[in-house]
Amino acid sequence: MQMVWLIPSFAMGIFFGLTSGLWQMAVMSGLSALIAVLLRFRGRKSKPFRLKINQRGVFINGKRAPKYMRLWRREWREEYARQFEQLVAGLQQELSKTSFEPLSFVAGFNLELNLADLGPHLFLVGPTGSGKSRWLQLVLGSMSGEVELLLADYKGGVTLSPFGEPITDLSPKEEREAFWSSLSELLEERERYLVVQGVGRASETSLKPVVVVVDELAHALREDRGALSALSAVAARGRSLGVHLICASQSVSGVPRELLVNLNLRVILAGVDEVDALQLGAKTRPQRVAGVGVGQVIGGPEFRFPFRQVPIQVQQHSNREQPQPVR
């Protein structure tokens, strides 16, 4: 048992002892606390245990671990942290050995999705603490180097900076405006190119797919007027031009319908608001599981992915060309 759960009873005993004049009660509470601490340190050597992480969650000695990690024993948390790093490294190593289609990506354990087939645009919704940033990093880290990335990270650049040089909410206003204007110019350039080539789709040419990634979409739309028109244009015209969107937000609130209707591939994470889930067409909501992230593809499967509430280092695959921002 964690010592923290004994504190209220100790404090209550001392309080009532002092306020009621029954000093014996205060002394007994203090002695009980001292004995508990001594026994705690005497039994500090923990019993052997087996901890296992898989897509169903975290199991200790064959039983599911408590839902909240703050209830775990210290040695459980230490072993979990060690195995978690090994799990992420192993997953990334497997990804580097796998030959994907350019717009395919790993969404979780044993789940591969293709943005071209299921999208062409993706919308991710998850509240703070659901693993939204980690899932985006998993997705981008598993994409082929044949994909070019345009990055907008309105959370200070924390999530997307390992994959290029994103504009952020901390960037000068002129840089942000130039970024959103460049999206419209990109669409026009590709449209002219397809006309010259006499084809109707970018996939029939040598043009690389472009993925525009926006973290904290609602924040971006509030901060920059040009964001909505640029993103709506990509959402409406991007499929045939080989330009795709991956947008993430904490809620559907603040995302206009003109943009939302074209974000066809929708993913929600555990803890998502019930109203948001209904708006996106979900019949059920994924539930939190200790030690892993949980998500659901709307109209598709529920999935699990590696996630814990501490920063992890995102590794780029050495055998792939690093994605560069489109100029």
pLDDT at res. 19: 75
pLDDT at res. 88: 67
Mean pLDDT across 133-162: 90
Least confident of 99-113, 220-234, 256-270: 99-113
Averaged confidence pLDDT in the chain: 82
Sign of CA dihedral 253, 276, 55, 143: negative
pLDDT > 70: percent of the chain: 76
Mean pLDDT across 128-154: 89
pLDDT at res. 142: 82
- Global confidence as pTM: 0.72
pLDDT at res. 8: 66
261 or 100, higher pLDDT = 261
Contact 36, 3 (CB under 8 A): yes
| 318 pLDDT higher than 70 | no
**CATH number of this structure's domain 99-306:** 3.40.50.300
- What CA–CA distance (Å, rounded) separates 295 from 268? 6
Mean pLDDT across 177-195: 96
Contact 167, 224 (CB under 8 A): no
